[in-house]
Amino acid sequence: MVVSSYDNPRPARMITLYGVESDFDHVKFPKKTYGIGKSKCTYVQSNNTLVLTDRHAHTVYMYDTVKGTSEAVIDGNIQKPRGACVGPGDSVMVCSNKKNSIVHMTVNGEILGTYPVDIKNPNSLSMNKDGTKLAVSNSGSGMNKLQLYKISPT
């Protein structure tokens, strides 16, 4: 599994089902330590790609964990990115908290689409295994919501 960390110079860690932690040896993370809720990650296993959001830099980082290369994705549609998950076809879905939308992109950082959601301040998201349903939750105080979206193939 891959998990986000906070108050740690390594913002993402790997952990086995037995609780053994390890680092991404070939990944050079930004020289910053993220606090709680400032960064989240996901991992696209088929492409060896670690995805890391940086909320205050309005940036999504894509790391090739084998080659050690990285790509910083900065786009006007990505504002205060929060949660990320693996999307259909090994793509990536990211919550754009400030834009109340989900940004869909490739592991190379190409934006495939931006989808407004009927939820304020989207914070976390998860896709089912066959890529047909997306669950999105928010972080609005007093207005917490969980929304389920049906994804249709294009």
In whole angstroms, give the CA distance from residue 48 to residue 108: 12
Q: Does the reported pTM lie above 0.85?
A: yes
User: What is the set of domains in the chain, with CATH numbers?
Assistant: 36-150 (2.120.10.30)
Question: In degrees, to the nearest 5, what angle opens at C-alpha 15 toward C-alphas 137 and 138?
Answer: 10
Question: Tens digit of pLDDT for each residue in 25-64?
Answer: 889 888 899 999 899 999 999 999 999 999 999 999 999 9
Question: What pLDDT, on the 0 to 100 scale, is given for residue 72?
Answer: 96
Q: CA-CA distance, 145 to 122, in Å (whole number)?
A: 9
133 in Cβ contact with 101 (< 8 Å): no
What is the number of residues in the chain?
154
Give the Å distances, CA to CA, from 127 to 55, 81, 83, 135, 148.
21, 17, 12, 6, 10
**Contacts for 48 with CB less than 8 Å, ≥ 6 apart:** 64, 65, 66
Average confidence (pLDDT) over 84-102: 95
Within the chain, what is the greatest distance between any pair of CA atoms? 44
